[in-house]
Amino acid sequence: MKRQRAGRLFCLILAVGLLLLFMAAGCGEIIVDPEESELTLGLGRDLFYGPEDRTFLHGSTNVWESLTYLDEKLAAKPWLAESFTASPDGKVWTFKLREGVTFHDGSALDAETVKKNLLRLSRHPATAQPYQDLVEVRVAGPFTVEVELAEPSPAFPEMISYFNSAIFSSRVFEEDGTRLEAPIGTGPYIFDGRGEDLIILKAFADYRFGAPEIETVIFRYIPDENTRVAALRSGEVDVLADVGVILPEQIPLLKSDPEINLFTGDILTSLYLIFQTEKAPFDRAELRRAVSLMIDREELVEKLLDGYGKAAAGLLSPLAEQWNNPSAAPIFDRAAAQELIEKNLPGEEKEIEILVCANWARRWPVLSIAQYLQTELGKMGFTVSLKSLEMGAYNDAAKNGQYHISLTPWTGSEPDDLFSEWFHSEGGFNRSRGIRFSNPQVDELIEKASVELDRQQRSDLYAELQTLAAEEAPLVPLYHDVAVYATRKNVDKLTLDFEFRPDLHGARLR
């Protein structure tokens, strides 16, 4: 049903000043028709990343699509690819592309375009890891691409799912660079412009599954958690849908509002403790294990999350059931924790600092968890100070190892991704978050598992790695997140998947 929303949009435009709006296929002023149907989503983060980023916009915008995506069992399924197969040695993956797919600029998806995209992604630091063994990308037909790797990669389709194989029109990036001029994708919505804290999208009439019913979609970045909820209740926004967009303590208020529908869903995000492993006292694995042992995860979820989460049963999300090793699950044993501390820190100073990212505190209860840890560690004889920093300062402090303990969310499903990034001595997050964990045996097992073609043997290797991870404990799981999202009553069929991507194509307005 059409909705008259011109007044609200006019206020938005006044609030952000002059919008610099660009047509996805070129430059041009955007004129919003007041008769058009319009949906506004409120978020706790900005989904506009810009031309230097791997995808320009977050995937939740529904502007771009990738070669593969994950199904409910976290196995890769075709998206822009129609199918994919591996050579017997696991070194060459062949992707058959869907025919008849059109970009927002009118150009057609073909093998040459996909080749250029994959080469671009292999050069971009944010997506280089899955392509680290890339030898060549070949066009083997108008709609067939072959990716040759130097080593077997049994999980390659999973490793390049979503962001890691995002496909854009080749007209918007330079031949040998990584920069995108505009996010011209194949998704159901076209990027129509942005302003301060605002992204405007238009329905793509030539989308292969039909034009979306809602003609205009607006994403609003609202950093303050209480302002987000107030905007939903007042009708300023129609939807709050993202990971961490609603905090547990806000749920009772939304439940009591007759104009609001509340939903929950399992997602691939978990919250972890990380330790600076080169700095005393947590340069000792025994003391990292002690901290893990003293945490009652069931109590933490019940009291600090009001039950909207799942006590960690392993490093990976429970959705990755096929990879999880139950024998390596974290346990709660306060007496054992105290014993380890007394044995390894007899009479020593126990002053430590917990570092918190203030931006994450607006989307996850990381500050409450840090205070919980402060209390529990205090019972164990530690003197604990808390430091909260905004994102930029937090990233710098973490990278430089200026903390003892910190908290971090992470979203992932593939064990190779988890171990390569967080546990390998050269892992991206291991270095950028200042953990600096190093264990030659762990490195060797990670490298061996990543090329093992036999699924059972690969599973056994990851089970062994999970056991070692529990013993070494540089990264300790706390809980697995549950997304809580909400819509006003006029919104129908808007769902959020386990990678917290809203289905805008399927959404309807009553």
How many CB atoms are closer than 10 A to CB 398? 22
| Residue listed under structure tokens 């200042």 | 434
- The conformation of residue 206, written as its DSSP 8-state character, comes to T
Q: What is the dihedral of CA 62, 65, 68, 69, to 10 degrees?
A: 0
Q: Report the predicted TM-score, pTM, of the whole model to 2 decimal places.
A: 0.87
- 485: Cα separation from own chain's centroid: 16
How many CB atoms are closer than 10 A to CB 226? 12
Tell me the per-residue pLDDT of 27-51, one tens digit each, with 9 for 90 and over: 334 445 556 899 999 999 999 999 9
Has residue 16 got a pLDDT over 90? no
Has residue 6 got a pLDDT over 60? no
225 in Cβ contact with 250 (< 8 Å): yes
Tell me what pLDDT residue 413 has. 78
Tell me the per-residue pLDDT of 89-147, one tens digit each, with 9 for 90 and over: 999 999 999 999 999 999 999 999 999 999 999 999 999 989 999 999 999 999 999 99
Secondary structure class of 477 (helix, strand, coil): strand
Tell me the per-residue pLDDT of 228-241, one tens digit each, with 9 for 90 and over: 999 999 999 999 99
- 490: Cα separation from own chain's centroid: 28
Q: Tell me which long-range contacts 348-352 makes (C-beta under 8 A, separation of at least 24).
A: 348/281, 350/281, 350/380, 350/381, 350/382, 350/383, 351/382, 351/383, 351/384, 351/385, 352/281, 352/282, 352/377, 352/382, 352/383, 352/384, 352/385, 352/404, 352/405
Tell me what pLDDT residue 173 has. 87
Q: Which residues are CB-neighbours of 54 under 8 A, at least 6 positions away?
A: 121, 124, 126, 127, 163, 166, 178
Tell me what pLDDT residue 174 has. 82
Tell me what pLDDT residue 347 has. 73
Beta strands in 153-259 (DSSP E): 166-167, 189-195, 198-203, 216-221, 239-240
Residue (of 470, 41, 471, 460) closest to 238 by Cα position = 41
What's the number of CA atoms in the CB half-sphere (13 Å) around residue 88? 0
Domains in the chain, start-ordered, CATH in brackets?
6-52+187-238+490-509 (3.40.190.10), 65-172 (3.90.76.10), 266-482 (3.10.105.10)
Which of the residue ranges 202-216, 303-317, 335-349 would you say has the lowest mean pLDDT?
335-349
Tell me what pLDDT residue 4 has. 37
